[in-house]
Amino acid sequence: MSEPRITIVDYEAGNVRSVQKAFQKVGGQASITSDPDEVIRADALVVPGQGACDSSMSHMREKGLVEPIKEFIASGKPFFGVCLGLQLLMKDSEEGDEPCLGVLQGRTRRLPPGQKIPHMGWNQVDFHIRHPVFDTIPDGSHFYFVHSYYADPDDKSVVACTTDYGVDFCSGAVWENVVAVQFHPEKSGALGLKIYKNFIEDIKS
């Protein structure tokens, strides 16, 4: 594949443009859409997002994006989730009553009390699965986080990396064609951009 089309899903949950700018910075062709057909046709799909699970899921539902995103993931084409884009893969969330995408068994849970919430700032990431997307990223590298909830998959074998904030939580999950991280590569400086560059390289190969 020469130049894969990276499609970023806009479902009114946070700043999708910063993700687009980051992909463009590392030479990717990234477009933003909320059109279900474009989601299905994408070569690679990116679901970013910040905010609450419930309202995000209802925006996603209103735009008819739930089934196309699930269909895309089932198709085996490369998928990248960021922040809420990881949490929404779970079956449900402690944050709300709406079911999430349910691509993965597990819950999205609230970070434990005793520390400042949201978990905001640069924290360390320890890698357990060396997916090509994490190529040359040193263990213990710092990435930028902003969240109050975290994904807790039942199947721990998908946990690609963990981060400590009162609990050692899943800061990234990887299985088959799916990569999803809790931190924001588009706000994590050179190392974050490297992850997006790796993703582009991985799609091409």
Partner 1 sequence: MLTKRIIPCLDVDAGRVVKGVSFIDIRDAGDPAALASFYDKEGADELVFLDITASSDDRNIMINVVKQVSEQVFIPLTVGGGMRSVADVKRMLDAGADKVSLNTAAVLNPELVVESSEHFGSQAIVVAIDAKRVTVEDASTAPKSSDQSLGLDESSRWQVYIHGGRTPMGIDAVKWAIRVAELGAGELLVTSMDTDGHLTGYDLDILKAISEGVTIPVIASGGAGEPEHLRQAVETGKVDAVLAASIFHFGTYSVKDVKDYMASHGLPMRPTD
The footprint of partner 1 (CB under 8 A) covers 14-15, 17-18, 21-22, 24-25, 50-52, 115-124, 142, 144-147, 164-165, 186-190, 192-193
- Please pick, among 53, 95, 119, 186, the residue that the annotation labels catalytic: 186
Of the candidates 187, 149, 190, 196, the residue with the CA atom closest to the CA atom of residue 170: 149
- Kindly state the tokens that stand for 173: 């999950």
Cβ of residue 114: shortest distance to partner 1, in angstroms? 10
Residue 10 CB, shortest distance to partner 1, in Å, is: 12
| DSSP state string for 103-163 | SSSEEEEEPPSSS-SSEEEEEEEEESS--GGGTT--TTEEEEEEESEEEEES-GGGEEEEE
User: Which among 119, 131, 147, 184 is annotated as catalytic?
Assistant: 184
Residue with smaller CB distance to partner 1, 22 or 160: 22
Q: How far is the CB of 52 from partner 1 (least distance, A)?
A: 8
Q: Is 83 a catalytic residue?
A: yes
Residue 40 or 117 with smaller CB distance to partner 1:
117
CB atoms under 10 Å from CB of 97, counted, come to 9
Spatial CA neighbour of 135 closest among 81, 174, 191, 184: 191
Q: Which of 83, 100, 161, 170 is catalytic?
A: 83
170 is catalytic: no
Q: Given the complex with partner 1, which of 27 and 76 has the nearer CB atom? A: 27
- Provide, rounded to whole angstroms, the least separation between the CB of residue 139 and partner 1: 13
The count of residues in the chain is: 205
Minimum distance, C-beta of residue 93 to partner 1, in the bound complex (Å): 15
In 3D space, the residue among 145, 71, 126 whose CA is nearest the CA of residue 103 turns out to be 71
Which residues are within 8 A (CB) of 87 and not within 5 positions of it... i.e. 6 or more apart?
Answer: 53, 93, 100, 108, 147, 149, 150, 151, 182
Cβ closest to partner 1, residue 36 vs residue 162: 162
Please indicate whether residue 186 is annotated as part of the active site.
yes
Rank residues 30 and 104 by Cβ distance to partner 1 and give the closer one: 30
Active site residues: 83, 184, 186
